[in-house]
Structure 1
């Protein structure tokens, strides 16, 4: 039989309790063998306990340890399944996609909205689909949930209380597991299987909103190495000085301090184009980088890795951010600042809504 590594990290799937008591981590492997014995008919499954945490406790240090462990173990298996809580599942999938380059077999993350031990749990089917995806799916880091297989670094959690909890707005699904299971080829391997486990977690994710006082993020700059800005639409934010809420001082001071800024969109579909509107053009002139159609979670983790491996080269960091590493962005969008800052304010471009 094919061999599959099942690495348990925690999450709702392996919890016990529930209304009226709170859910809590529980003994997972015993429940797995009694509630989902079909798994062991699909493959020779080796169970390993990495952690037993609520996914809100997942941190970059654990991603590095997990990636190093998987790098050591994957060559001995035909596929791997990582069970994980849903709240930070997209972050972990993004991290593993950047850390495990050209994996020798599929790495599939899954979880559930209800614990495996409950009657109406979605955990059993998610586990079966994940194991099947680990055997037949593409050789990349993916998320399997509600009979769909998504590229891990393209995925967002979109629902809390429904079983179709994830979506991949800017990337087609890689697999559909209905009556038949069909899979797309996925990413083509580009070289040997390599581990890039280093991260610099001194980054901040800032969401633009009406009323944001620029003084608040300005106070953060001395304490961070990088900044991801969730802007409006195509990469817009306030710049009118007369209203006292312009964010341009943030970009200018970030450039002076050597703090890279990556701009992504709050919109679920499409991505930023910093050349389209005046605020984005001024951000480009101040050295900001457009994050194309990356999700905020993917952009955040990618910036962590870029800072760890390119700590003193803004040019190398910019190339790293704009280049697809694991299918996380669509090429062809303006993502890199111009060679020299523009001193003149560019003409305002207006697009019909």
Structure 2
């Protein structure tokens, strides 16, 4: 039988107790064998307990440890499944996609909206689909949820109380597991399997909103090494000086301090193009990098890795942020439609004679 590593990190899937009382971590493996014996008919599964945490406790240090562990273990298996809480699942999937370059087998993350021990749990099917995806899916880091396989660094959690909790707004699914299971080819392998576990977590995520006082992020600059800015639309921010809330000083001071600024969009679909509007052009002139159609979670983790691998910043870091590492952003095609042409006012024609 093919061999699959099942690495448990915690989350709702492996918890017990529940509604109306609070969920609590529980012995996962016993429940797994009792509730999902079909898994062991698909593959020779080796169970490992990496951690038993609510995913809100997941931190960059744990990503690095997890990536190093998987780097050691993956060559021994035909696939790997990582069980994880849904709240930070997209962050962890993004981190592993950047840290595990050219994995020798599929690495599939999954979780559930209800614990495996509950009657109406989605955990059992998610686990079965994840193991099948680890055996037949593309050799990259993915998320398997609600019978769909997504590229890990393209995925966002969009729902809290429904089973179809994840979507990939700017990239097609890599697999559909219905009556038949079909998979796409995924990323092409480029070179040897390598580990890039270093991260610099001194990054701040700033969401632009009406009424944001620029004095607040300006006070943060001395304490951070990088900034992910979630702007409006194609990368727009307020820059009108007469209203007193221009963010132009933020970009200017960030450049003076050598702090990279990576701009992503609040829009769910499409992405950033800093050449379209005046405020984007200002950001470009001050050295900001457009994040194209990267998800906010992928941008945050990629900047952490970029700071660790290019501590001097500058153009090497900017080039790293602009270049796809694991299929996390689109290049070579527009990520936003061109602006609509301006309407011309009709000309009044006077009556003649």
Structure 2 counterpart of 1:174: 174
Secondary structure of the corresponding residue to residue 237 of structure 1:
coil
Are residues 1:311 and 2:311 paired? yes
Aligned 1:106-185 pairs, distance under 5 A: 106-185=106-185
Q: Closer, same or farther in 2 for the Cα pair 1:147/1:350, shift >3 Å?
A: closer
Question: TM-score normalised to the size of structure 1?
Answer: 0.95
Structure 2 counterpart of 1:213: 213
Aligned 1:321-336 pairs, distance under 5 A: 321-332=321-332
Aligned CA-pair RMSD: 1.3
* Counterpart contact for 1:151–1:173, Cα < 8 Å: yes
Structure 2 counterpart of 1:7: 7
Q: In 1, Cα distance between the equivalents of 2:313 and 2:279?
A: 26
Q: In 2, Cα distance between the equivalents of 1:185 and 1:311?
A: 35
Q: Which whole-Å deviations, capped at 9, do the CAs of 1:155-204 have from their partners, x for residues lacking one?
A: 00000000000000000000000000000000000000000000000000
Q: In 2, Cα distance between the equivalents of 1:265 and 1:216?
A: 20
* Counterpart contact for 1:291–1:321, Cα < 8 Å: yes
Q: In 2, Cα distance between the equivalents of 1:306 and 1:95?
A: 12
Q: Which whole-Å deviations, capped at 9, do the CAs of 1:66-108 have from their partners, x for residues lacking one?
A: 0000000000000000000000000000000000000000000
Structure 2 counterpart of 1:295: 295
Q: In 2, Cα distance between the equivalents of 1:25 and 1:198?
A: 29
Q: Which runs of 4+ in 1 moved over 2 A?
A: 332-335, 349-353
Are residues 1:201 and 2:201 paired? yes
Q: In 2, Cα distance between the equivalents of 1:18 and 1:238?
A: 45
- The structural deviation recorded for 1:313 is 3.7
Secondary structure of the corresponding residue to residue 210 of structure 2:
coil
Q: In 2, Cα distance between the equivalents of 1:306 and 1:146?
A: 32
Structure 2 counterpart of 1:266: 266
Aligned 1:332-347 pairs, distance under 5 A: 332=332
* Counterpart contact for 1:9–1:83, Cα < 8 Å: yes
- The structural deviation recorded for 1:314 is 1.0
Structure 1 counterpart of 2:70: 70
Structure 1: 5+ residue runs without aligned partners? 336-348
* Counterpart contact for 1:275–1:334, Cα < 8 Å: no
Secondary structure of the corresponding residue to residue 221 of structure 1:
helix
* Counterpart contact for 1:232–1:266, Cα < 8 Å: yes
- The structural deviation recorded for 1:351 is 4.1
Structure 2 counterpart of 1:249: 249
Structure 2 counterpart of 1:53: 53
Structure 2: 5+ residue runs without aligned partners? 343-353
Question: TM-score normalised to the size of structure 2?
Answer: 0.95
Secondary structure of the corresponding residue to residue 81 of structure 2:
strand
* Number of residue pairs matched by the alignment: 340
Q: In 1, Cα distance between the equivalents of 2:234 and 2:151?
A: 23
- The structural deviation recorded for 1:333 is 6.5
Q: Which whole-Å deviations, capped at 9, do the CAs of 1:224-262 have from their partners, x for residues lacking one?
A: 000000000000010000000100000000000000000
Q: In 1, Cα distance between the equivalents of 2:332 and 2:203?
A: 26
* Counterpart contact for 2:260–2:313, Cα < 8 Å: no
Q: In 2, Cα distance between the equivalents of 1:244 and 1:165?
A: 40
* Counterpart contact for 1:228–1:300, Cα < 8 Å: yes
Q: In 1, Cα distance between the equivalents of 2:232 and 2:25?
A: 38
Q: In 2, Cα distance between the equivalents of 1:8 and 1:52?
A: 7
Q: In 2, Cα distance between the equivalents of 1:60 and 1:144?
A: 22
Structure 2 counterpart of 1:240: 240
* Counterpart contact for 2:91–2:301, Cα < 8 Å: yes
Higher-Rg member (1/2): 2
Secondary structure of the corresponding residue to residue 139 of structure 1:
coil
Secondary structure of the corresponding residue to residue 80 of structure 1:
strand
- The structural deviation recorded for 1:332 is 3.0
Are residues 1:80 and 2:69 paired? no
